[in-house]
Structure 1
Amino acid sequence: MLPFSADPDTSTPVVSYFMLPQRAIKKFALLSGLLFLITCAALFYIVCQQNSRQIEHSKVDVVKAMQNLQDKVGTVLKDYAFWGDAYRNTQQTINLDWAYARDNIGPSLFAQYNLEGVFIVTPDLQTRYALINGKISQQQAATWLTGDLKRLVKLAQARSAEDSYASDYFLINGDPAIVSAAVIRPDSSYTDYPHLSVLIYAFVLDADKLKSLDRDFDLHNLRLDTTTPGENLREPFITLSSSGGTPFSLRWDAEYPGNDLLKTIFPLLILLATLFCLAFNRLKARLYHAAKRLDAIQLSLTISEERLRHVIEGSSDWIWETNARQELIYLSDRFVCMTGYTAAEWLGKPFHQLINYDLDAFEKGAFDADSSHGMRKPLPCRLKNRIGLTRHCSLSVRAILSGHRVVGYRGTVCDITEEVEAKAHIEYLSLHDSLTGLANRSHMQNFLQASLGVMPEAKKMAVLSLDLDRFKPINDTLGHAAGDQVLNEIAARLKKCIRQCDLVARMGGDEFIILAIEPGTRQSTEKLCRRIIDAINATIVIGEHELSVGVSIGIAFCPENGTLANDLLRYSDIALYEAKSAGRNNWKFYVNEMNERILERRQIETDLRQALRRHEFFLEFQPRFELNGMRVAGAEALIRWNHPSRGLQSPANFISVAEETGLIVPISDWVMLSACREATQWEDDFIISVNLSPVEFYCGDLIARVSNVLQQTGIRPARVELEITESVMMEDAEQALVIMQGLKALGIRLSMDDFGTGYSSLSYLRLYPFDGLKIDRSFIANLDGSQSSQAIIQSVVGLGRAMSLTVTAEGVETSAQLDELLRVNCHQAQGYLLGKPMSVEALKTLMAMPAGRGTPGALSSPSASPSCPALHAQ
């Protein structure tokens, strides 16, 4: 017989064991003896290793047991310490009814968790509440626990920022105990840990608990040894140190599995060696038969290796094989894990009953592999597992050939359900807002383009741009988490307002878009807007806060206003701008005039930016008179703009644009700097008054800006007066108070402008640090013949004197008005009767006149008419 036999499938030569020479057999015997000796040596080595590993394993189990106890105590501790009710009932005073009588931090901690000690202590270790073995006690934690309790409390405070706790070993009456501590806090954002109480749990490691650990972790005779650990202790043991510095050891009886292994195997080895020697001679006689069997095994292994090679070529999850009729004849073990079926349930059944795949693609894919050098394209397929869930899979297939005849198929099935679902989820995220789940900008654009593309000319669409009112203060005061909850609630309400055929999308921030298909008449759209406003205006409850927001809406129609997506969106945005300018919480329909106004405002914005650079602004000053003696007390600075092409511009035409674009800040800085610089050339007792816009009050660092002006000009701060309207305090009362106090700290004066036009002026005078108030011109205008106006003026003047405020009357235009103000002893007045806005040279001339000589209107043009009141304007 030839020493090589040919594999009929692969033509790979296979070594034959029949022709092995005699010398090789003798060497085999010598090698077997050597292997026997090596085996014996290895056995003894394994025995030693097994014994050592068993001891180390038992140590790991004990350490794990102790860690589990610490984690158990720590988990219970965190549940109670980070509980809001625990903070509210223990921080100021201990609510014994809540804590003990209602068993919130009471006897159940001992009965259920075996916590022998429960304490609530102050940061300086004073015990506020104590439970010993489930009963109220007057025992101090520092005396009952033997250890460094102060260090444990400090560590608990440090770890509270990580939502964690501190734990250490203490001695209690000579017994070791696990003692854990955590800060009692209202929520994770609270960081004033040094002033919070600390909750302490003590878990004593007594004999019963050690027996329980002994049972749970299969230890033997687990016990405590509080003697000093050292070389006299026999393994196994672990040493633990208490917080007080006293070490103690946990000991148990070791197991020696290696010895048992040696007792079992070594006699068998001796017996095996004896039998081997006796049977060796007979082995030669049976060598021929054994060689033939080895040849057959070698051939089988070769075929198995070929099968394995084919499997490895595919990226598989589980392996299958069928006969030529596509009936399953092999399923790998992984099949059971992935589908829940057993292999016996499907062997012999058609493969297509298990896997839903395309039969033609299957046949084509089976032969494509050979024609493309082993590269196979996986086929998409689906199957239902045992519990009925549909799984997405990828199928690879290869034909098994005997010559040119197909004898079967084999391949792999890979579960790609997670990949398919992830792809679907990514596609969803790409089209939806991650916070609210509404359509995002991309989805809205696609929907709008698709609707415009297929919509006949006779059909209509309404594009509604929405912007929330009063949303920014929610983010600023309650945080972005509360803001996100509000946005989610708004999104849910908007979805309820629209039909199934419509779309609502979030554009970002607090901006939304609604696309209404066939909205009906203009009245129907108005009803939709009213429905939206009513839904959003309803109170939103976030925790303990009741919040209210509004919404402004701009509407553009297709095809009336346009048929292009970008145009409709732009027009609805322009209409939204008009709605917000008109007072918010309403809606506006787009008309062509709106676009013209937008273009005009943009031109004004551009001109304003150039005006700052080209020095086109200048100041006029309206004098303010001290009525007692008719002397000039100061002046109010008023901005003017000499436009190079349109001439003198009224502040009413450009101040609102400056406020919207943020240009009001540099313009106001210029006004304050120029006015104060001029005032430094006046007498030292003259006041310079400057108006502040409500917008700039919260835009930029106002205190730093005013301080900078004072430093640059060197003016005495008491001569500078800032006029503030009531709307500033209505926007954010708390922040307004902080800013005003900072301004007062600079030494300047604050005056409430337009007093009497708001809703809570009296409360503002009481709470805010005003030095004066200016009576609105609307009250002065009716002063001539109106007894009610006279009574109001008299009351305001009396109020101002009672509160030590300087009262100034604005808009004095007749002698009768002036006489009435003199009668009620009003402090100061200004108006066209006394002096119109004038240049600084004219103001200096007026200031130089002796007291009482500056007759009303002496330096004013008789033909001038009052200007519209506005920021820095009169």
Structure 2
Amino acid sequence: MKAWLDEVRPSVDLDGPHAAHFRARQIQALMALLPLSVIGNAVNTVTLAWVFWDRMGEPLWLAAWCLAVVLSLGVIGLLWRHRLVSDGRKRVASPRAIRVVVAHMGLFAALWATLPVVLFPDADEIGSLLLSTVSVGMICGGAFMLSPLAPAALAYVGVLFCGCLLALMRSPYADNGALMVMLSVYAVVMVGIIFTNGRMFISRLRAQAETERQKQLIDLLLRDFEEHASDWLWEINAEGRLRHVSTRLAQSFALPVRQLLDRSLTGLLAEMLPPDEPEGAHSLRHLTSCLRLGQPFRDIELPVEVGHAVRWWSLTAKPLFDERGRAAGWRGVGSDITQTRQARDELARLANYDALTGLANRHRFSTELDRLSRSPEEAARPCSLLFIDLDNFKQINDTLGHTVGDQLLRRLGARLRTCVTDGDLLARLGGDEFALLTWAHADAVAADALAARMLALIREPLQLEDAQVVVHASIGIAEAPRDGSDPRALLQCADLALYAAKAAGRATWRHFAPEMAAQALARARLQHELGQALQAEQFTLHFQPQMRLHDGEVLGFEALVRWQHSERGLVGPGEFIPVAEETGQIVPLGTWVLREACRQAARWPAHLRVAVNLSAVQFRSLSVIDLVDQALAESGLAPERLELEITESALIDDHEGAHDTLSALRTRGVRIAMDDFGTGYSSLAYLRRLPIDKLKIDGLFVRALGSDPDAQAVVTAIISLARALRLETTAEGIESVEQLAMLKALGCDDVQGFLVARPMASEDVSPYLQRTCALVAA
């Protein structure tokens, strides 16, 4: 029952503080209909008085009744008005005020009910008909007019129903059951109407309150949004003029509110658009088009000039429509995305430009190259691709430090930028590699002139901190579309040309030629086969004797590796050793050579030594000492019978580390020989400090002894230097008796070469020693 009543009356449990306002609205709804009630009651009372005036013995009673009915409504209205209290902008009423209204309506209904109770029993047919009509009308009108306040309507209808029922029971029609039933049904129908209308009235009040609450909440959120958020709201009418200008919006435009009201939004933005800003002009056209076509838009980014500073705004909006579905304007939000835009631009810059030099990076360069294959117009335009690689950057970086190396790259990048024409693209691909894609130097002659200029700029001395640095570079050149339009093919061609430039002595440039691709293919195939040969153990050792000059005695043999190729037969080291050094395969190959040489030498007479070459990569590894120990232990060879030949480059690159490694090997008894002496740095400082036993004179000087005085001077100086440092000397490449005589005269200790003996297989060593011993004895 309570839930049923809560639908037609305000409740603190359901409506909270709104209940008092709802009660006031119920009373106000009754007061709004009070004038009509006064008129209706006046007409009814006058009609009844006129009809029954002459039929009553006491007409003054009827006059008093009429006066009471008419005046009571006015008094009731005044009493109700005093029951309404102002609470801010709203009127409120207490539960007691509702009870007073219900009581008033009950008393008023009782006042009306006295008339049919008194007059109906003695009335004639016309009077009965009039009383019945007025009573039924009063019940119906009261039910409808009082239904906003259901308890008052129920009290009113209930009292009138009881009065009519009592009048009917006192009349001659009291035994007419049909009239009784009809009156009861009529009363029930009126009660249903009262509850239906009362529920609709209360529901409407509650819906209005919820709508008002949501509107206040939205207004509060919008105010808070505009006051504290970085975004701002904007609204324009159907003509595109601003009609809602918040403080935040005015601050964003840096203009007073009055100057913004009724201004065209697109006109304002056009005035604030920075000059020479193609993206901004495009975005403004897109915004104007969306407004004209009535299309919603989102995140249109616009640059605007506010206070001599360029800001970036993002605009989002949806169209508004009136109740007839016609365009009524636009409402949206604007955001200042300057910091986001700057961060995004910075990320884009970092993604496309090298942070160290400011040049384009590999990603940007690859993207530009891809255009050659995607665009037929670009593919048809001749261009040149130059690969630039610094020749001695690693040495500078290692000796002077990475800070100096970074300064060097920045300075060189700035120098190379002076060679770039508008429309060309210069990039740093990584490390010390640069690339230039140029359309201005597309032919071979222009590319040669550009390469020469770039090399000249690069080798100009640079003052970096306390050091003056001179750097050299090599350049590989590929031309499109002659060498190909596919980006990968063009890159490969330029890379092959760079490789050829380095092979030609560096500090120069080379154009791509078709034979370079064939050589690269052969080198790649050789590299693959070299890996398979290591696994299949297709290598063998040959040994070349080393002879003492003054008595012709054999001192030992140098181990020389050969490749027993399955298809090509015996392959000399000159073909595969450079490839092995480039690919790093020299390390496992050198390990096998050392172990196999020690194993073979262990079978020779105890006075013979074996000389083994160590590559620079192998010598600089931390495991070289352990490797030597392991090879000697596995073979049983005495350490003093092993002689390791090391090139000058291996000693120069890491002087301190080389000294420690050589000292550890010498401590074990292993002999050290410097191979190819005279072709490298030949520094007297490291010769004096490093623990070395022998200098090997390169065969290049030995073969030129009889024809080149300079070569003879070099050999003489090497022998004199070795003698002064108490080092032995071995001359390589002896091919004639004259060379042998000259070396003997100059004081060389040992020799090796074709004149002594060609390199031989391991099974030929013993027969050779037997023949040599017999000759020496004879």
Query: TM-score, with normalisation over the residues of structure 1?
Result: 0.59
Comparing 683-692 and 296-305, the one that deviates more? 296-305
Secondary structure, counterpart of 1:497 in structure 2:
coil
- Counterpart pick for 1:16 among 17, 21, 26: 21
Distance 1:286 1:742 in 2: 116
- Counterpart pick for 2:306 among 385, 395, 414: 385
Distance 1:319 1:728 in 2: 73
- Match for residue 361 of structure 1? 290
- Counterpart pick for 1:492 among 408, 414, 420: 414
Distance 1:842 1:406 in 2: 106
Q: Alpha-carbon deviation of 1:739?
A: 4.2
- Counterpart pick for 1:294 among 82, 90, 104: 90
Asked if 1:524 corresponds to 2:479, the answer is no
Instruction: For 1:582, give the aligned amino acid.
Output: A
Distance 2:300 2:706 in 1: 95
In 2 relative to 1, CA 591–788 (structure 1 residues): closer, same or farther, beyond 3 Å?
Answer: closer
Distance 2:741 2:9 in 1: 134
- Match for residue 231 of structure 2? 317
- Match for residue 592 of structure 2? 670
Distance 1:380 1:779 in 2: 75
Secondary structure, counterpart of 1:290 in structure 2:
strand
Percent sequence identity over matched residues? 35
Secondary structure, counterpart of 2:89 in structure 1:
helix
- Match for residue 335 of structure 1? 249
Contact 2:235 2:245 in 1 (8 A): yes
Asked if 1:432 corresponds to 2:353, the answer is yes
Asked if 1:680 corresponds to 2:588, the answer is no
In 2 relative to 1, CA 377–684 (structure 1 residues): closer, same or farther, beyond 3 Å?
Answer: same
Return the index of the structure with the highest Cα Rg.
2
Instruction: For 2:676, give the aligned amino acid.
Output: D
Note the 1:591-606 alignment, pairs <5 A: 591-606=513-528
Coordinate RMSD, CA, aligned? 4.0
- Counterpart pick for 1:839 among 735, 743, 761: 761
Q: Alpha-carbon deviation of 1:649?
A: 1.6
- Match for residue 245 of structure 1? none
Note the 1:476-487 alignment, pairs <5 A: 476-487=398-409
Distance 1:605 1:620 in 2: 22
Q: Alpha-carbon deviation of 1:300?
A: 8.1
Instruction: For 1:396, give the aligned amino acid.
Output: A
Distance 1:549 1:855 in 2: 59
Contact 1:4 1:15 in 2 (8 A): no
1:320-376 deviations in Å (ceiling 9; x for gaps): 4556665545444433654544545534544445445635534766x96xxxxxxx8
Secondary structure, counterpart of 2:596 in structure 1:
helix
1:525-564 deviations in Å (ceiling 9; x for gaps): 1111111111222233333233333221111222322233
Instruction: For 1:438, give the aligned amino acid.
Output: L
Distance 1:387 1:734 in 2: 62
In 2 relative to 1, CA 385–768 (structure 1 residues): closer, same or farther, beyond 3 Å?
Answer: same
Contact 1:385 1:391 in 2 (8 A): no
Instruction: For 1:294, give the aligned amino acid.
Output: K
- Match for residue 576 of structure 2? 654
- Counterpart pick for 1:552 among 474, 481, 490: 474
Comparing 299-308 and 538-547, the one that deviates more? 299-308
Q: Alpha-carbon deviation of 1:668?
A: 1.2
- Match for residue 26 of structure 1? none
Contact 2:391 2:473 in 1 (8 A): yes
Contact 2:372 2:378 in 1 (8 A): no
Distance 1:14 1:461 in 2: 85
Distance 1:813 1:325 in 2: 103
In 2 relative to 1, CA 344–767 (structure 1 residues): closer, same or farther, beyond 3 Å?
Answer: farther
Contact 1:641 1:648 in 2 (8 A): yes
Q: Alpha-carbon deviation of 1:674?
A: 0.7
Secondary structure, counterpart of 1:16 in structure 2:
helix
Which blocks of at least 5 consecutive residues in structure 1 are unaligned? 6-12, 22-283, 369-375, 857-874
Instruction: For 2:410, give the aligned amino acid.
Output: N
Distance 1:292 1:802 in 2: 116
Instruction: For 2:694, give the aligned amino acid.
Output: G
Asked if 1:346 corresponds to 2:260, the answer is yes
1:459-507 deviations in Å (ceiling 9; x for gaps): 5211222222122234434444443333333322222112112212233
1:818-849 deviations in Å (ceiling 9; x for gaps): 34444444322222232222233332344457
Q: Alpha-carbon deviation of 1:777?
A: 2.7
- Match for residue 125 of structure 2? none
Instruction: For 1:319, give the aligned amino acid.
Output: L
Instruction: For 1:318, give the aligned amino acid.
Output: W
Secondary structure, counterpart of 2:542 in structure 1:
strand
Q: Alpha-carbon deviation of 1:380?
A: 4.7
Note the 1:409-428 alignment, pairs <5 A: 410-428=331-349
Contact 2:442 2:479 in 1 (8 A): no
Comparing 585-594 and 300-309, the one that deviates more? 300-309
Secondary structure, counterpart of 2:335 in structure 1:
strand
Q: Alpha-carbon deviation of 1:855?
A: 8.3
Asked if 1:800 corresponds to 2:722, the answer is yes
More helix by share: 2
Instruction: For 1:693, give the aligned amino acid.
Output: S
In 2 relative to 1, CA 816–485 (structure 1 residues): closer, same or farther, beyond 3 Å?
Answer: closer
Q: Alpha-carbon deviation of 1:805?
A: 0.8
1:423-470 deviations in Å (ceiling 9; x for gaps): 444444333334433223343233234346344898521122222212
Q: Alpha-carbon deviation of 1:785?
A: 7.9
Note the 1:425-464 alignment, pairs <5 A: 425-451=346-372, 453-455=375-377, 459-464=381-386
Q: Alpha-carbon deviation of 1:751?
A: 1.1
Q: Alpha-carbon deviation of 1:673?
A: 0.8
Secondary structure, counterpart of 1:390 in structure 2:
strand
- Counterpart pick for 1:811 among 717, 733, 737: 733
Note the 1:113-124 alignment, pairs <5 A: none
1:301-329 deviations in Å (ceiling 9; x for gaps): 77544545778999981234556665545
Instruction: For 1:429, give the aligned amino acid.
Output: L
Comparing 303-312 and 328-337, the one that deviates more? 303-312
Note the 1:99-114 alignment, pairs <5 A: none
Instruction: For 2:336, give the aligned amino acid.
Output: D
1:58-91 deviations in Å (ceiling 9; x for gaps): xxxxxxxxxxxxxxxxxxxxxxxxxxxxxxxxxx
Secondary structure, counterpart of 2:320 in structure 1:
strand
Instruction: For 1:615, give the aligned amino acid.
Output: E
1:789-825 deviations in Å (ceiling 9; x for gaps): 6665555434323211112222333344434444444
Paired residue total: 578
- Match for residue 562 of structure 1? 484
Instruction: For 1:290, give the aligned amino acid.
Output: S
Contact 1:393 1:417 in 2 (8 A): no
Q: Alpha-carbon deviation of 1:675?
A: 0.6
Query: TM-score, with normalisation over the residues of structure 2?
Result: 0.65
Distance 1:836 1:564 in 2: 50
Instruction: For 2:367, give the aligned amino acid.
Output: N
Distance 2:584 2:410 in 1: 30
Distance 2:324 2:362 in 1: 61
1:359-409 deviations in Å (ceiling 9; x for gaps): 5534766x96xxxxxxx8455555443444333222335537477687775
- Match for residue 728 of structure 1? 650
In 2 relative to 1, CA 769–295 (structure 1 residues): closer, same or farther, beyond 3 Å?
Answer: farther
- Counterpart pick for 1:757 among 667, 679, 687: 679
Contact 2:371 2:378 in 1 (8 A): no
Contact 2:497 2:510 in 1 (8 A): yes
Instruction: For 1:419, give the aligned amino acid.
Output: T
Contact 1:401 1:408 in 2 (8 A): no
Comparing 780-789 and 806-815, the one that deviates more? 780-789
Which blocks of at least 5 consecutive residues in structure 2 are unaligned? 1-7, 11-17, 27-79, 93-207, 271-283
Instruction: For 1:448, give the aligned amino acid.
Output: L
In 2 relative to 1, CA 745–410 (structure 1 residues): closer, same or farther, beyond 3 Å?
Answer: same
1:197-234 deviations in Å (ceiling 9; x for gaps): xxxxxxxxxxxxxxxxxxxxxxxxxxxxxxxxxxxxxx
Distance 2:607 2:376 in 1: 75
In 2 relative to 1, CA 572–302 (structure 1 residues): closer, same or farther, beyond 3 Å?
Answer: closer
